[in-house]
Amino acid sequence: MESFAIGTALVQDGVTTGAVYALLGMATVLLFVVTRVIFLPQGEWVVFGGLTLAMLQDGKVPATIWLLAGLSVVATLLEGAAALRDREPQQLGRIALTCLGIPLALVALTVWAAHAGLPLVVQGLVATALVTAMGPLLYRIVYRPLVDASVLVLMIVSVGVHFVLNGLALLFFGVDGFRTLPFWDVQLSLGNVSLSGQSIVVVVATALLIAALWLLFERTLYGKALWASASNALGARLVGISVPFSGSVSFGIAAFLGALCGILIAPVVTLYYDSGLLIGLKGFVAAIFGGLASYPLTLAGAMLLGIFESGVSYAASAFKEAIVFLSVIPVLLWLSMRGGAHDAEE
Amino acid sequence: MKLRNKAAFALALSLAVTAAHADLTVGVSIALTGPGASLGLPARNALTLWPETIGGEKVRLVVLDDAADPTIAMKNARRFIEDKVDVIVGASNTPATIAIAQVADEGQTVQISPSPAELQPGRDKWVFRDVMHAEYYTEGILLAMKAAGVKTLAFLGLSDAYGESHLVALDKQAAAMGIKVVSVERFTRADTSVAGQALKISAARPDAVFVVAVGGGAALPQKALKGRGYRGKIYHTAASLTPDFIRLAGKDADGALVMSGPEQVAEQLPDTHPGRKRALEFVQAYEARYGAKTRTQFSAHIYDIGIMLQQVVPIALKQGKPGTVEFRAGLRDALENTGATGGIATTKGVLRYTPSDHWGYGPDARVMVTWRSGDWQISKP
Amino acid sequence: MEPLDMSAHGAVPPASSQRSGLWRRSCQVAVIVLVATLPLSAAVPEFWISQANYIGLYTLVVFGLVLLTGVAGLTSFGQAAFVGIGAYASAYLSSVLGAPSWATLLFGLLVTGGCAYVIGAITIRMSGHYLALATIAWSLALYYLFGSVAALGKYDGLANLAHMSLFGIELRSGRAMYGLIWTCVGLCGWGLCNLLDSQPGRVMRALKHGRLLSESFGVDTVACKRLIFVLAAMLASVAGWLYVYLQRAVNPTPFGLNASLEYVIMLIVGGMANVWGAVLGAALVKVLQDQLQTLLPSLLGMAGNFELIVFGALLILLLRFAPQGAWPYLRRLVPERVPKGVVPSAPMDRRPVQPDGGALLTLSDVGKRFGGLQAVDGVSFHIAPASIVALIGPNGAGKSTTFNLITGALSASAGQIVFGKTRIDGLPARDIARLGMARTFQHVKLIPGMTVLENVALGTHLRAPSSVLRSVLRLDRGVERQRLHEAAQALKRVGLESAMHTDASSLALGQQRLVEIARALASDPMLLLLDEPAAGLRHREKQALAALLAELRAEGMTVLLVEHDMDFVMGLADRIVVMVYGKKIADGKPADIQQHPAVREAYLGSNA
């Protein structure tokens, strides 16, 4: 095999992983920009998405429904108590629908889907929907009460959320690893280069999602409002943009992106209950390359990271992880200096 | 199963209170979570096949999870020593076993290990393995390779002590068999992709690849090599022979060659094989309880330890009661005498320990099997 | 200055506080006795002893976090990696070279301190969450390095290490190690308490409140943060050293990210700002962890680290409802320490008075540009010694910018500033402070949680050497007494000595401004720079302030004020400099300025 073929194989492998990191990186950036939360557990959505799909493929009801149900009940109680305290009983109807009705409907759908023998793509969508619904509920329960906390406190809270979700993943899925069936099980040959169908699916899906996100933020009023509430919460509130709503939506989008990553990589990577941390951190690294602010840079950074990882695992497999994480530090340093040393007094 | 859990729970709670045990207490440290769980969980299943009493003493099992981590395994072992267990069983992976061995040595308690832990000379006074060392299996694989006409070989193995011991064995033996090692690649248990390593190996075009991995984790290199279009023979160590490997590797598992303990293909063993009788008992008992084709290496190792204890505990009881220093020393002496007194018949053959050899098995404790048509079959090279 | 009447200070504490002092002391003694005698009784099972050993190790690491995060406000998710460096260094030296235990301790401290210095130099400049992210990054990198280096045994680590051997005694048992571990905990805790109760400790606490504040009284904030970082790492290294001799084997797992996160949980559970909260946090978390590790798997019927679910939930709830941790609840059982009176002591060295002749401060054609905005443009004026100069002008005139240029908070784009005989434009603020300039801030910057006296003592930073080592060993009592004495004197000058021992945040704004002035005075400056000192003061307070400033001028002090209050300025200043849109438009005596046409135009519109 000549070095060209090796090179292209490595690049292909790198681009596929890079696409996944890009999705995760963007979810991370979105959350940070809109809610100032550094969401370390982003990788857990990946695991929940992928393993839920694996359960569905096995014809079993995924235990993830219990988490969704639990979050739904707690959120409903919190919202209901708040509505009663503010003497707004008319809100209870809306609350019942959004916090209780939709999640429980998804739970019912999942239970039915487990035994219905649906095609792969539909199963993937069900798994994604189930996990996406957990995002806004998590925001409501954990992060909304802390909306004025500092970035550091929010980060430490995210550590707590990571522990909880990780432990629950063990409880729901056990210690076994899982792989799902590929969405497109072919091996295409273009001359010397061999492409797997699954890789193509991953890259195409990522490209579509990135385009959709770009459209959302650049072209829709709603997307711009989301951005606005990130830069200035008070100003956003004054012009009628609801900050909690922005928070819910961004958590929803982040969970959606995470779950989607999960179902995309589940055919090629054996997912365990604790795979989430490392995947999430790599997505984080991509987000940092993008300065925790810019989507195009995050995409570029993710691709670079994916290819870099492939190359390093080929050349010096033992030191791969150490090198990847060390490379983050100069970037962080540059970012910190460029962002201006904003003192603690801010 | 629940009974054992409650027993473990009760014992753990009562660890704060030390008391002389009237029962035969066995401390078991295996991986029930983490990457090593595919070996540890079947091992715990096998514990339920042990008899309730051995040598007239009630068996009390304390099962602790070490997640295949040497630090936790060492803590478990220390807890066992503090609680004066009679024998330690562990661990389900080599690095953890080595960690336990250190503590067992200091605490002067017999450790029976289902992992092939290589210890420094003089450090295995109290450690007995019921599986053979890496050189033994590697020798078998190399012989099979030689018979199959393999001239060049690549190594794709774990970077921990398990992988290292096989690499060292390979380096020692390969040249003498006329086989050249053309590429050595390593990976860790936590890796999600070995694409780079597989690429490098398939670029070197070896006749065969020797994969050293554990349980479900062996599916990763297998699939990666097949995914690169590698068409040579792929050999595995016995640790790959698990249902998880088959489940995760899917159709890429076809043709995988494993140097296994003979009990995995008990039904196919010739009648002359010394382990056949016990092996059949094992697979029937285990699969009756846990389902067809759930047998694994480690469940067999643990089952064998039960057989061993049934043979040596009555001898040790003549030296002292369980919970005493004399009993533990008596256990060790009884085990070391098995070489002279005819050995212990296990699922693999006859186990013979001597004061200088704590490994014990002869040449018929290994057999080459291959996965074909949905089952493991003895492979004739 | 006249000698201070000391009879009001150092008074004998009332009888009730003597009793509570006794109660406090006896609590401390009881705890020490309990901890010390625990291993001696054979009735205490081995299990508890080994638990206590691990709690001791964790406590040492959390001490470092108390200093790093609780006191200095720097979040680190990487302390476990430093434990690892210390452990591996000690283990390597012990197993490869057979070095004795004390040597492996020193080697571990050296290697860890060195690594911390390098890592700190790179990451400490980062702020807030970037720093936290960087600590995660290098913590992971180090973990993987531990696992990939062959000499360190890779993921299997090093095993069969020797026992601890000190002064010829081998510590073979858990109980023997208990003695060593808890002695270390006691010594380190005592040292840390000493450090926090001294000038370096006060300076460290000030770090959280911004660079500007600390630099204004002469602290090199970057060096200080780096020092704290290294100290925290060295505490972790001691824990690593003890770990090696406790386990007699090392492998990477206890030094990974999860371990670092657990230390942070211990910090938060125990209470971030208190040294002994570390013991509480480590103990609570460890005991809870052990109980849950046995309870949960059997409850749920499967093996696994489910206690992490509880810890995660605990962390979230704590940060939401009790961010102070558990320590304050324990604290209520023991009364507050009675503040010691200030002891009279020899005064500190005064700065030599500048010989007469020549201006004290001269600005020549000073300019500052921010991108497209010329905030200060060609400003020149001088300040004569022993005079009060006021800098006034409408909003946006560039007064604050000029102020910041003089004090070194900003660097000039053009022109020169000369202070005494030294050119100071381009110098960092702390060097300018060293030359004899002291300032106050428009938004008062006092440290809450410290008393007024301690806040003012910060100002004395540059007047005496401040050594971390001496503070830790409590050899600095003489200097400390001097500092507090000077601070008390400065407080007397501004008329606030009665508020000496109250918490600085509980004072009214006007009084807080006076405390800031006292802090500036405590540094014995030649030039006092006051940024809107009269803002928020009542009429009487303004009068008192004006009188104080006049007194100071009579004693030879030079003052530059930025102010909006015309009455205050007109009656007090010797000269007034007026700025509009970044340029100086007038400079002269108050009476002249009042008549100056350009000034009237700027303030009142034309032809008023």
The DSSP code sequence of C76-118 is: -S-HHHHHHHHHHHHHHHHHHH---HHHHHHHHHHHHHHHHHH
pLDDT of residue B8: 47
C304/B82 CB distance under 8 A? no
A235-251 per-position pLDDT tens digit? 777 777 777 888 898 99
Residue showing tokens 């989301």? A226
What confidence tier does C594 reach under pLDDT thresholds 50, 70, 90?
confident
C462-496 per-position pLDDT tens digit? 888 888 888 888 888 888 888 999 999 999 988 88
Does B148 lie in the same domain as B119? Answer: no
Most confident range (mean pLDDT) of B152-161, C144-153, C227-236, C561-570 is C227-236
Tell whether A13 is within 8 A of chain B (Cβ). yes
Tell whether C448 is within 8 A of chain A (Cβ). no
The predicted model gives B305-314 an average pLDDT of 92
Q: Please give the distance of CA C207 from its chain centroid, rounded to a whole number.
A: 4
C154/B99 CB distance under 8 A? no
The enclosing H or E element of A37 equals none
Residues of B numbered 70-109 whose beta carbons fall under 8 angstroms of chain A's beta carbons: which are they? none
Fold match between C45-331 and C357-436+525-608?
A: no
Q: Please give the distance of CA B108 from its chain centroid, rounded to a whole number.
A: 22
Does B204 lie in the same domain as B345? Answer: no
Tell whether C138 is within 8 A of chain A (Cβ). yes
Q: Report whether pLDDT(C111) > 90.
A: yes
What confidence tier does C153 reach under pLDDT thresholds 50, 70, 90?
confident
Residues of B in Cβ contact (< 8 Å) with A60: none
pLDDT of residue B381: 52
Domain range annotation of chain A: 3-174+194-338
Q: Which of B13, B70, B120 sits opposite C251 (nearest CB)?
A: B70
Tell whether A272 is within 8 A of chain B (Cβ). yes
CATH code assigned at B83: 3.40.50.2300
Q: Contact at 8 Å (CB) between C443 and C395?
A: no
Query: If 0-12 CB within 10 Å is exposed, 13-18 middle and 19+ buried, where does residue A249 land?
Result: buried
The enclosing H or E element of C258 equals helix C257-270
Q: Which of C50, C156, C297 sits opposite B78 (nearest CB)?
A: C50
* H-only helix segments in A174-294: 197-219, 221-231, 233-238, 243-265, 276-289
pLDDT of residue C90: 92
Query: If 0-12 CB within 10 Å is exposed, 13-18 middle and 19+ buried, where does residue B145 land?
Result: buried
Most confident range (mean pLDDT) of B32-41, B314-323, C265-274 is B314-323
Domain range annotation of chain C: 45-331, 357-436+525-608, 447-524
Tell whether B221 is within 8 A of chain A (Cβ). no
The predicted model gives B125-132 an average pLDDT of 91
With respect to residue B158, please indicate whether it lies within any of the assigned structural domains.
yes
Domain count, chain B: 2
Lowest mean pLDDT of C65-79, C165-179, C388-402, name the range: C165-179
With respect to residue B349, please indicate whether it lies within any of the assigned structural domains.
yes
The predicted model gives B118-124 an average pLDDT of 82
B18-30 per-position pLDDT tens digit? 444 568 999 999 9
Helix axes B94-107, B161-173, angle to 10 degrees: 100
Residue type, C7: S
Q: What is the residue range of B69's domain?
A: 2-133+293-364
pLDDT tens-digit profile, chain A (346 residues) = 467 777 888 888 888 888 989 999 989 988 888 888 989 999 999 999 999 999 998 888 999 999 999 999 999 999 888 888 888 878 788 888 888 888 999 999 888 888 888 888 899 999 999 999 999 999 999 998 888 787 878 888 999 999 999 989 988 888 888 888 887 777 777 666 667 778 888 888 888 888 888 788 778 877 777 777 666 667 777 777 777 888 898 999 999 999 999 999 888 888 888 888 888 888 888 888 877 777 778 888 898 888 888 887 777 666 777 788 888 888 877 777 776 444 333 3
With respect to residue B283, please indicate whether it lies within any of the assigned structural domains.
no
Does B164 lie in the same domain as B260? Answer: yes
With respect to residue B274, please indicate whether it lies within any of the assigned structural domains.
no
With respect to residue B95, please indicate whether it lies within any of the assigned structural domains.
yes
B79-102 per-position pLDDT tens digit? 899 888 999 998 988 888 988 998
Residue showing tokens 């062959």? C150
Positive or negative torsion for Cα C320, C324, C326, C328: negative
pLDDT of residue C11: 41
pLDDT of residue A2: 63
With respect to residue B46, please indicate whether it lies within any of the assigned structural domains.
yes
The enclosing H or E element of C363 equals strand C361-370
Q: Report whether pLDDT(C448) > 90.
A: no
Q: Report whether pLDDT(B2) > 60.
A: no
pLDDT of residue C217: 87
Tokens representing A293 are 């602010």
The CATH superfamily holding the domain C357-436+525-608 is P-loop containing nucleotide triphosphate hydrolases (3.40.50.300)
Q: Report whether pLDDT(C250) > 80.
A: yes
Helix axes A221-231, A197-219, angle to 10 degrees: 80
The predicted model gives B234-261 an average pLDDT of 90
Question: In the complex, which subunits touch A with 3 or more CB pairs below 8 angstroms?
Answer: B, C
Please give, rounded to a whole number of angstroms, the shortest distance from the CA of B284 to a CA of chain A.
25
The predicted model gives B169-182 an average pLDDT of 91
Please give, rounded to a whole number of angstroms, the shortest distance from the CA of B35 to a CA of chain C.
12
Does B203 lie in the same domain as B302? Answer: no
Positive or negative torsion for Cα B94, B100, B104, B109: negative
With respect to residue B212, please indicate whether it lies within any of the assigned structural domains.
yes
The predicted model gives B308-334 an average pLDDT of 91
Q: Report whether pLDDT(B300) > 60.
A: yes
If you count them, how many residues does chain B have? 381
Does B27 lie in the same domain as B170? Answer: no
Q: Which of C48, C251, C298 sits opposite B71 (nearest CB)?
A: C251
Q: What distance in Å separates the CA atoms of residue C379 and residue B62, rounded to the nearest whole number?
A: 83
Residues of A numbered 201-230 whose beta carbons fall under 8 angstroms of chain C's beta carbons: which are they? none
Q: Report whether pLDDT(B304) > 70.
A: yes
Positive or negative torsion for Cα B47, B51, B52, B58: negative
Q: What distance in Å separates the CA atoms of residue B74 and residue B80, rounded to the nearest whole number?
A: 10
Q: Coil, helix or strand for C332?
A: coil
Q: Report whether pLDDT(B16) > 50.
A: no
With respect to residue B284, please indicate whether it lies within any of the assigned structural domains.
no
Tell whether A275 is within 8 A of chain B (Cβ). yes
CATH class of C45-331: mainly alpha
